[in-house]
């Protein structure tokens, strides 16, 4: 299998299982890598161990792929596929090559298991050129955390035994990779380096677009007015539009690509609105419910004051008792509904 694949790796991260896009990975600082499509499973494990917190002796205990699946209406949702051997890795790379025009990045969730009893390894010698061999770009993800998915290291014993026998070296052919040249046009053109939207940015669903706009607005202490909200388009402007700020955004459904795309964007807010000290209009009960769902799943009797504290920690806003209570009730209803269905 020829070509290069772009990876986004989430470590020390969380898995949200019930979003509008299906499964979502969440990590404060995800990493981006470029690898050849000929890479094997053990080679990938070596590279991840060598370049993520390389000072810690460890092995990969769980590796999950966020696999895109077309659903009703041609929209894309995501499900989990465990990557446990060369066969499952080649399946992942095959899916990527088939759908990369719509989903230009492979998203991987990785869990590590710390190793001991190998202190005689000369780490300085083995890892002295790791940055050149397997380059990574740090990126910030605005999404919030949620529930974990428990790994199953037993299925990887044989591969991990091989990894343990070697000092986590990166394959020699990776030293010649020109990582900057390997990024496909759709990735480099729409790369988001300052947490701003850009024309051409794609989303899997209408709900995910609106959620991203809400998160952007909440984090910056600004607000917007919806000018058009239809099944195939969403158009909003800053509340101060025409009075010192020209911020606007328009996203539309692109049926041929089975995704939503940013069609118009004016760039950063230029208004002088300060951070809202108490609450935010866009921090509604649905947004809060998504953020606190893992807490409610773990303890359906969680107190509302604990919900308020969690929201304050995540968003830096103090929401009303009623809004927090309503968000909790929505989560409880959804959780018990899911139990009944299953």
pTM score, whole prediction: 0.42
How confident is the model at residue 282, as a pLDDT? 84
How confident is the model at residue 117, as a pLDDT? 52
How confident is the model at residue 179, as a pLDDT? 40
- Long-range Cβ contact pairs of 81-89 (< 8 A, separation 24 or more): 82/152, 82/155, 83/41, 83/44, 83/108, 84/41, 84/155, 84/156, 85/41, 85/159, 86/40, 86/41, 88/41, 89/39, 89/40, 89/41, 89/44
Task: Give me the residue spans of the domains in the chain.
Answer: 4-189, 202-265, 285-341
How confident is the model at residue 338, as a pLDDT? 53
**Other residues' Cβ atoms within 10 Å of the Cβ of residue 294:** 19
Q: Kindly give the confidence (pLDDT) of every residue in the chain, 342 residues in length, as a single tens digit, with 9 standing for 90 and above.
A: 677 888 889 988 888 877 777 788 888 778 888 888 888 999 998 888 888 887 788 889 999 999 988 765 556 778 889 999 999 999 899 888 888 877 888 999 999 888 765 444 443 444 444 444 444 443 434 444 333 333 444 434 443 443 344 333 344 434 333 444 333 333 333 334 456 788 888 887 888 888 888 888 887 788 888 999 898 999 999 888 888 888 899 999 988 878 889 999 987 887 755 544 567 888 888 888 888 888 888 888 889 999 998 888 877 888 889 999 999 999 888 877 655 444
Assigned token pair, 215: 């998160």
How confident is the model at residue 183, as a pLDDT? 38
Q: What class has domain 4-189? A: alpha beta
Cα→Cα distances 147→39, 75, 113, 316, Å: 31, 25, 19, 21
How confident is the model at residue 318, as a pLDDT? 86
Residues 200 and 180: their CA atoms lie apart, in Å, by 20
């Amino acid at each position: 299998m020829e070509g290069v694949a772009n990876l986004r790796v989430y470590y020390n991260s969380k898995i949200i299982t019930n979003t509008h896009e299906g499964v979502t990975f969440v990590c404060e600082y995800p990493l981006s890598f470029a690898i050849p499509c000929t890479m094997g499973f053990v080679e990938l494990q070596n590279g991840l161990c060598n370049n993520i917190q390389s000072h810690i002796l460890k092995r990969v205990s769980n590796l999950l792929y966020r696999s895109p699946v077309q659903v009703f209406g041609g929209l894309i949702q995501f499900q989990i596929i465990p990557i446990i051997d060369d066969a499952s890795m080649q399946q992942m790379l095959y899916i990527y090559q088939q759908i990369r025009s719509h989903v230009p990045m492979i998203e991987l969730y990785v869990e590590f298991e710390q190793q001991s009893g190998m202190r005689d390894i000369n780490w300085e010698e083995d890892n002295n050129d790791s940055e050149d061999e397997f380059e990574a770009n740090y990126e910030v993800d605005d999404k919030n955390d949620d529930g974990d998915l428990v790994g199953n290291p037993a299925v990887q014993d044989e591969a991990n035994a091989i990894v343990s026998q070697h000092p986590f070296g990166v394959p020699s052919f990776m030293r010649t990779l020109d990582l900057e040249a390997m990024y496909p046009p759709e990735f480099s053109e729409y790369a988001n380096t300052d947490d701003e939207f850009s024309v051409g940015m794609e989303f899997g669903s209408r709900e995910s677009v609106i959620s991203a706009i809400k998160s952007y607005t909440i984090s910056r202490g600004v607000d917007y007015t919806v000018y058009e909200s239809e099944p195939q388009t969403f158009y909003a402007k800053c509340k101060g539009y025409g009075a010192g700020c020209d911020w606007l955004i328009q996203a539309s459904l692109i049926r041929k690509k089975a995704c939503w795309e940013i069609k118009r964007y004016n760039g950063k807010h230029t208004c002088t609105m300060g951070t809202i000290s108490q609450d935010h209009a866009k921090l509604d009960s649905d947004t809060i419910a998504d953020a606190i769902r893992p807490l409610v799943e773990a303890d359906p009797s969680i107190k509302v004051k604990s919900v308020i504290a969690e929201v304050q920690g995540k968003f830096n806003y103090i929401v009303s008792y009623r809004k927090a209570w309503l968000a909790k009730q929505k989560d409880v209803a959804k959780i018990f509904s899911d139990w009944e269905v299953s």
